[in-house]
Amino acid sequence: MSITKPYDLPCIENLVGGELLAPAMGGYIENIEPATGQVYGLTPNSCQKDLNLAIEAAEKAFSLWANTPAETKAKILNKLADLIEQNQNELAKAEAVDNGKPITLAKNVDIYRAAANIRFFAQACTQFSSESHAVENTAINYTLRQPLGVVACISPWNLPLYLFTWKIAPALATGNCVIAKPSEVTPMTAYLFSKLCIEAGLPAGVLNILHGSGATIGADLVKHPKIKAISFTGGSNTGVAIKQATADQHKKLSLELGGKNPTLVFADCDFDRTVNEVARAAFANQGQICLCGSRIYIENNIYKEFTEALVKKVEELVIGDPLDETTQFGALVSKQHMHKVLSYIELAKKEGGEILTGGEQIKLEGRCSDGYFVQPTIIAGLKNNCRTNQEEIFGPVCTIQGFGSDEQALALANDSKYGLATSIWSQDISRCHRLAQQIETGIVWINCWLLRDLRTPFGGMKASGSGREGGLEAMRFFTEPKNVCVQFKD
């Protein structure tokens, strides 16, 4: 719901044409701290007028930026990464307040990775090259890879600055100008980032950041005829809406969507390490990472022992104020999301699930007494085809089931409309490689989870999306290949 600025709260601003601006029509959205449930600021609810100004600024900047030498682009991007590192404490605190995630996670993962993303693509732009194909004694083809023009980058709330920079950095490194829209649920670090972009000397109009709701400015942005490509991360339904809205416009689309990821635990795994990592994979960021392993399959002959150890591990998690450095498990991102998660726990009970641990909202004392906290929850006794096991919950809820053979484990893992990530835990490396080939997900981790190398293709199959981010995949997505064929003279 859009409101006009009603009272004296700090206001976030858009970045348009190198300046920080209030929204043209004065509409705002309340920004709520999930750990306290209190409104602590206002976010612009941008409109078509803001979008037109941003497009104009981006188009004006395009020729200069596209023709800026790679070394100069890299220098500016590296300066930006330096500034993120220098301001990591302020950024981590802002992320923890805005999102509800533990401040140590924000610092060591989100903000660390935001700087790493920018630095990685700063280097990539100086290393990027294109192909050449020779036809013996006859001709040579070479492929130009040119920037697309003005592109859109749209990101979700779960890893706010981390995923925002993951898209913006390759788009800028390849010479495009960008209109970026962070999630309206967690806009704060994108705003602080706007200020750092100005300080780093990014030329005016090269990156424009518009805040606001997905249904209004998000929908207008993707449909704008000047937008040549859309890099989107968010829910699968939103991905479909973007595909449909742009179907007749021939835009390039990179869609990173939802997941319902399987974790396969075999009897020969490194037991203690696997318990720790499977717990982390299920509950990091309160289970609000698209890659979290929320369907855990355990080989029957260690099912009881592993389940008991997993429950014990999860019950040891320190739940508390995200701003407390000792907190390991914070708040869910919003009241609406908390109610969605709690409704899935109720559904699981109706479907015959047994709650092994968790299952309830948590009421903390003091500052966080009105916060959106839900216990990390493990559910057993459900069939694979029930809604709890088929629909994305995107919260601190995982299910466990047993399996008797590799074939059964594979069938259970692949029995999902999603196809983002799998983790396999076994010391039989032949089995791991064989399963990795047969599993229908874009990412497979063997005896690890969330171990990232920014050069690798990142993305999902089936309802988890289309296209890949990361390394060369991202550099290629944000450029148009044009083949030039030259025949030799006889």
| Interacting residues with ligand NAD between 52 and 111 (CB under 6 A) | none
Decide: residue 104, CB within 10 A, 0-12 exposed, 13-18 middle, 19+ buried.
middle
Query: Under rule CB under 6 A, how many of the chain's residues touch ligand NAD?
Result: 32
| Interacting residues with ligand NAD between 228 and 267 (CB under 6 A) | 233-235, 238, 241-242, 256-259
Neighbours of 291 (CB within 10 A): 22
Give the binding range for ligand NAD (CB under 6 A) out of 139-147, 177-185, 272-280, 379-387. Answer: 177-185
For every residue of 300-369, DSSP letters joined together read: GGGHHHHHHHHHHHHHT--B--TTSTT-SB---S-HHHHHHHHHHHHHHHHTT-EEEE--SEE--SGGGT
256 flagged as catalytic: yes
E strand residue ranges, 448-488: 461-462, 465-466, 479-487
In angstroms, the CA 92 to CA 99 distance is 10
Closest residue by Cα to residue 44 from 53, 34, 35: 53
290 flagged as catalytic: yes
Binding flag, residue 420, ligand NAD (CB under 6 A): yes
Catalytic residue among 47, 177, 269, 290: 290
Q: What DSSP state is assigned to residue 111? A: I
Give the binding range for ligand NAD (CB under 6 A) out of 72-80, 85-93, 210-218, 380-388. Answer: 210-218
In angstroms, the CA 409 to CA 406 distance is 5
| Interacting residues with ligand NAD between 138 and 157 (CB under 6 A) | 154-157
Binding flag, residue 214, ligand NAD (CB under 6 A): yes
- Kindly tell me which residue out of 179, 207, 222, 348 binds ligand NAD, with binding defined by CB under 6 A: 222
Binding flag, residue 219, ligand NAD (CB under 6 A): yes
Give the binding range for ligand NAD (CB under 6 A) out of 24-32, 33-41, 208-216, 373-381. Answer: 208-216
Q: Which helix (H) or strand (E) holds 26?
A: none
Chain centroid, CA 255 distance in Å: 11
Residue type, 255: L
- The residue (of 118 and 275) whose beta carbon lies closer to ligand NAD is 118
Q: How far is the CB of 169 from ligand NAD (least distance, A)?
A: 15
Binding flag, residue 290, ligand NAD (CB under 6 A): yes
- Kindly tell me which residue out of 218, 395, 419, 470 binds ligand NAD, with binding defined by CB under 6 A: 218
Binding site for ligand NAD (CB under 6 A): 154-158, 163, 181, 183-184, 213-215, 218-219, 222, 233-235, 238, 241-242, 256-259, 290, 392, 394, 420, 460, 464-465
